Amino acid sequence: MLTPLPTYHFLFFRALFCLTTLLFLYKFVLRVNPLDVELDTLPFILIRSVTVAIGTYLTTLAMLFTDVTKVIILYYSPFIPSILGYVLIGERVTHRDILFFTTAFIGMIFIMNPFDNIKGISDVFGVMLAILGSTIFNCGLIAMRKIKHRINMWAVPFYVQIVALMAAPVLYTLTEMVKDLTKETPLVHITISGKIAKRGPEDLE
């Protein structure tokens, strides 16, 4: 039986594979130099890279506390980027957009039925992590809209994966903190103990 891959290990090796693939594409297919960017666009690229790492990690971590279907619905909900776009950069949202978003969101709920099995405080914590992860992820996406016409967007994933590799040790530390929290906080430990028992303690390593 294969040993489950810890979250931060998965993120690290995924980033390493993506970075290797990107370098191959840059060299032999796209002919793109990811270092050839304007200096004043680097802060936006950095924001995008950091928010991807944090948002992805929080969303993955949320799956330890609640159902995957709930995390997916929250992570891909069109409402979060729409609200952030309106608040942060004044992006216009039409009535047609709201209608399409609402229809799609309701369809996802009916198909996945995420509220069929509510597990108490662990679900609340997992949902909060998923919402926070999606919000952070989309903040970086919206930041990139400021410079999308001034940069080759193929260069952005290069920086995203570099930050993901560098973030792996930090994510490991955060994972250990979450594991300690589940041991030291009785309420949280009781509500998610069943899920930990099913997955094994190695899933939090």
Task: Write out the chain's pLDDT in tens, 205 residues.
Answer: 445 556 667 778 888 999 999 999 999 999 999 999 999 999 999 999 999 989 988 888 888 888 887 888 888 777 788 788 878 887 777 788 778 777 877 777 776 666 666 667 878 888 889 989 999 999 999 989 888 889 899 999 999 999 988 887 777 777 777 667 766 554 444 344 444 444 444 444 4
The sign of the dihedral angle between the CA atoms of 123, 124, 127, 133 is: negative
DSSP H or E run through 198 = helix 186-199
By the 10 Å C-beta count (0-12 exposed, 13-18 middle, 19+ buried), 113 is classed as exposed
Alpha-helix runs per DSSP H in 63-155: 68-75, 79-89, 95-112, 121-144
Residue with tokens 């103990």: 193
178 touches 61 (CB < 8 A): yes
Rounded Cα–Cα distance for residues 194 and 107 (Å): 30
What is the amino acid identity at position 63? M
Closest CA to 11 of 63, 53, 65: 53
Those residues whose C-beta lies under 8 Å from the C-beta of residue 27, and which sit 6 or more positions away, are none
Tokens of 35: 């270092």
Rounded Cα–Cα distance for residues 171 and 52 (Å): 13
Rounded Cα–Cα distance for residues 143 and 57 (Å): 19
Tokens of 202: 């190695």
Long-range contacts of 199-204 (CB under 8 A, 24+ apart): 199/4, 199/64, 200/4, 202/3, 202/4, 202/6, 203/4, 203/6, 203/7, 203/64, 204/6, 204/64, 204/175, 204/178, 204/179
Rounded Cα–Cα distance for residues 72 and 49 (Å): 21
Residue with tokens 């979250």: 7
